[in-house]
Structure 1
Amino acid sequence: MILSKNYHNYFIFSIFLLFSIFKIYEANNEYREQPNIFYKISNLNKEDIVKQMDKKFLKPVERQSYLSSNIKANIYVIADGSINVLSNIYADIFTNFLMGFFNNFEINPSYVNVAFTMSPGDNNMWLYLPSFNSFYGNTSLRDYIHSSYYPLDGSQSFGQGQLKDMLKMALNNQFLKTGYNDSYKPHIIFYLTTTSSPDYDAIYQSNIIRNSNKFKIISIGYQTKNNVYALQSMSDCFYRADTEDDLSALSSALASLVTYASNSGIELQC
């Protein structure tokens, strides 16, 4: 009788245990299916996340989200190419960040019109002038950005003494004639760096641009150190990121800000 009772209790316990395991498994599956809130903002699905974060191969992410509909903007990207942004470390990181942003939009002169240039170190040459009307689609933009992080004239060098010249382009009529459109909103200059500091000349030139109302300047510092004040001094908006997850969240947040500005017909509000 005692033995039968023990078997009965064991049977009930086994059923309860199996039920508990099933509920835990079901809950875990539900959790795994829940998208991260940052990816919700940009409407990325799991396949896009895998592709975007594949830093080794930089697989293409050809995606048009709900954010891209009728969004028009002029965006001029200046990327620090000095030794503080070593290509073998940061080319993938910053390319993924930028494409995490640009993949929310239709990239071509009729919608989001992009100009891109590198700001090389002081011992490297500025080889390629930026131009609007250069990119038709996300793949060509991604490939150009990634390859630009590898200088053609030798090793990367220290300094951002040429940054002022890249900034001057923003008010150069020849540059503006390549595709700047007053009716597009917003107009943005992105400057991307790690620990480099803009010098006095770059900060002076940035203030001329800001007073001209041609562009808003947004600086993005990844793992910054003692250069935060200098970056803030040259920018309408400054954003700091310490991890790649921070960059991913920032790319989505910036895409939402651009979308709101374009739909509202205003310049970007920090």
Structure 2
Amino acid sequence: MAENSIEIRNLYKKYKNSDEFSVNDISLDIGSNEIYGILGPNGAGKTTLISMLSGLIQPTSGHFTIHGWSPQKNNSTIKQIIGIVPQEYALYPTLTAKENLMFFGSLYGLKHKTLHNSIDTALERMGLSKFADKKIEQFSGGMKRRCNLIAATLHQPKVLFLDEPTVGVDVQSKKVIIDYLQELNHAGTCIIYTSHHLSEAEEFCTKIAIIDGGKIHAVGTPADLINRVPHAENLEDVFISLTGKELRDVV
């Protein structure tokens, strides 16, 4: 296995009709065993960065590799080894949980018996077994989040991209999601994660990059970052110190 899951070099992204770069000369190495937090205020470039790495949008310039593969040459290979959990639910509301998972699992080429076993195990692990034949539109927010996560991980990806995976969920769902992700990481999945929950990130992430204005402002373990900033007691203090107190409302 490559020492780094992801290597990013001089990555830029400027959207059409925009004067500013959303991602501005970012270079990062992300180890294969990391739970790596990409943190920043609204509009900092977090989702843009994850969208490029997961193949949803193209960079303006620069390059990156995932497990040594280049998206220009090996895009189909990369798609088979990554999982994506977007901020919005990526499930069909009129299908049942099991129907959704059968569909997404089959996209990754999982065979019938293996797929059934994987789905049953994951539904049990996420507390959703008794709702397997209920339509997604009947699910609460936390149940949808858990089902969304299963859909993205049935093929046991080497790299998992998570954009705000616990937003809008209750405490119990949040704990189940975080525990499940830690189990995946221990089994060999590198996790790339964005969130506004700084206390969650402080406990969950092995390493963190704080970005603002499309640029990296600091990289390190949560403890390293807290130690670097005078009088900082937690990651929130570090975050405010680096990104300021100005409101970042965007429309």
Does TM-score exceed 0.5, indicating one fold? no
Return the TM-score normalized by structure 1: 0.34
- Between Structure 1 and Structure 2, which shows a larger proportion of helix residues? 1
- Between Structure 1 and Structure 2, which shows a larger proportion of strand residues? 2
Q: Which has the larger radius of gyration?
A: 1
Q: 1 or 2 for the larger relative contact order (CA 8 Å, sep ≥6)?
A: 2
Return the TM-score normalized by structure 2: 0.36
